[in-house]
Structure 1
Amino acid sequence: MSKKTEAVTRRVDPEEAAFLRDYRPADFPRPSVTVDVAAFSVLDAELRVLLVKRGGHPFKGAWALPGGFVRVGDGHRDQGEDLDAAATRELEEETGLRASDVYLEQLGAFGKAARDPRMRVITVAYYALIRPDLVPLVRGGGDAAAADWLSVNALRPADMAFDHHGIVTQAARRMAERVSSSSIASSLVTKTFTIPELRHVYAILTGKPQDPGNFRRKFERMVEEGIIEQAPGKRITASKPALVYRFLPEKTEHECRRR
């Protein structure tokens, strides 16, 4: 049973019930909460992030992460939506993709005062990894003036709204830390891939060249552990047709949770 369910179904004694009836949330400071989603993919041999150009103030015309306010209820009986539900909703509204289509994980909270000029707003950031073959299915939503996949390495703080440049930077750092100890790279390659294609993703995320011999040994261990298997067909290359492989979904999910 989840903590949310426990909070809703537990017995409330009469004194607490009376306290809740008279409780006035407006008597206390209530900062607004948003969720922002940094959606990444590997396109044209580089790490790119999906950004929207803001169509209104504040930061009109600046690039920003897809996101929005968490829906909040009006009292103890209706407390709105969970953070994960808000992130999933924003992902679907801003990209057209379901959470089951991508890898989605909470990155952390960003609450520096004055990060939003309108009022005190705390955001909980998530990062999503989108396979390159799903990118053509992404459709923009909301009131953004435009949307595009921009190179992470080319982003400048001055071009981005709020503290979103820092969120992108921290998300990229998190991915670099996790790629060697989890299977998150499976969400940045097509369903079938060659060894060099996967090695290239590792190099992009870590920002370091991957020695072909060392990577092949790592790759072979992943095959032995049942994380990766050979797939039907071959990929045409400049020299000779190359074998293609695929991640095993069940094993990949287990590895990501375990590590």
Structure 2
Amino acid sequence: MTVSYEHPRPALSVDCVVFGLDDELQVLLIRRGIEPFAGQWALPGGFVHLDETLEQAALRELNEETGLERVFFEQLYTFGDVDRDPRERVVTVAYYALVKLSDHKVRAATDATDAAWFAVSDLPELAFDHAEIFETARQRLRNKVRYQPLGFELLPRKFTLTQLQRMYEVILERPLDKRNFRKKILGMDLLVALDEVEKDVAHRAARLYKFDDRRYRKLAKQGFSFEI
């Protein structure tokens, strides 16, 4: 059935801010292959199809433009400035995602000519209002990582306490006292100490740990408060 509307409607899109971690916090960008802003770096994203949900659209665009799939992601915010897209009136729903860099190989496709990781401290000029979207996601991550164990999505499945502390320091952008940090994180009883140590390191090999997600979910239902 065809329906006509008395008032014009804005187009709807999704955009994804994808974070990864090595020595610095990284964000995944694509180089646009079409106008507007052809050749400029941007966040992965695109228009929502009529037969899909917002989440389905975000996952589809992420996979089509970068090759990523099966990632942790959450809805971030809706951006609707009138002139945010020079083509037409477009409202975008943004998502942010966290990935382990070693688990994902990126590749450009569809209307993206390239896809690459950039350190958040050295981003190129971004198309549309994507710089604003990125900053909103960065602040959300910085705030939320303090009271939810989201940061473990950025780490290898097996990690050292030094890697864990470094992850928090990078995201929070401040140093943490080593003794106090380890006392607090180990006191939560959410890490499983493994009978394994680092391999192929120049310094003394440190013990490896893994995060006990099942135990965290059980404790969270009982009112457990995770706070760094």
- TM-score, with normalisation over the residues of structure 2? 0.89
Q: Secondary structure at the match of 1:106?
A: strand
**Conserved? CA contact 2:20–2:26, under 8 Å:** yes
Q: Can you give the 5+ residue segments of structure 2 that lack an aligned partner in the other structure? A: none
Q: 1:254 to 1:49 in 2, by over 3 A?
A: farther
Q: Report the counterpart of residue 180 of structure 1 in structure 2.
A: 146
Pair 1:115-2:88 in alignment: no
Q: Report the AA paired with residue 4 of structure 2.
A: R
Change (3 A) 1:254 1:205: farther
Contact 2:63 2:69 in 1 (8 A): yes
Q: How many residue pairs end up in the alignment?
A: 222
SS at match of 2:63: helix
Return the alpha-carbon distance in structure 1 between the equivalents of residues 202 and 82 of structure 2: 54
Aligned partner (choices 239, 242, 257) of residue 203 of structure 2: 239
Alpha-carbon offset, residue 254 of structure 1? 6.4
Contact 1:70 1:81 in 2 (8 A): yes
Deviations 1:136-158 (CA, angstroms, capped at 9, x unpaired):
x23222221211101111125xx
Q: Secondary structure at the match of 1:176?
A: helix
Match of 1:24 in 2: 4
The 1:219–1:120 alpha-carbon spacing in structure 2 relative to 1, beyond 3 Å, is same
Structure 1 232/141 Cα, relative in aligned 2: closer, same or farther at 3 Å? Answer: farther
Whichever structure has more helix as a proportion of its residues is 1
Whole-angstrom CA distance in 2 between matches of 1:106 and 1:177:
15
Amino acid at match of 1:103: F
Q: Using a 3 Å threshold, how does the CA distance of structure 1 residues 197 and 22 change in structure 2: closer, same or farther? A: closer
Unpaired runs of at least 5, structure 1: 1-20, 73-79
Letter in 2 for 1:24: S
**1:64 corresponding residue in structure 2:** 42
Alignment of 1:69-88 (within 5 A): 69-72=47-50, 80-88=51-59
The residue that corresponds to 1:195 in the other structure is 161
Q: Equivalent residues in 2 for 1:13-162 (5 A)?
A: 23-25=3-5, 27-43=6-22, 45-72=23-50, 80-99=51-70, 102-135=71-104, 137-155=105-123, 159-162=125-128
* C-alpha distance in structure 1 between counterparts of 2:219 and 2:171, whole Å: 18
Asked if the contact 1:37–1:91 (Cα under 8 Å) also holds between the matched residues in 2, the reply is yes
Q: Distance in 2 between matches of 1:146 and 1:39?
A: 15
TM-score (norm 1): 0.79
Deviations 1:217-256 (CA, angstroms, capped at 9, x unpaired): 122123x2xx321234111444322110111233456678
The CA RMSD over aligned residues, in Å, is: 2.1
Residue 250 of structure 1 corresponds to which residue in structure 2?
Answer: 214
Shift of 1:130: 0.5
Rg (Cα) greater in structure: 1
Aligned-pair distance for 1:84? 1.2
- In the alignment, does 2:199 pair up with 1:230? no
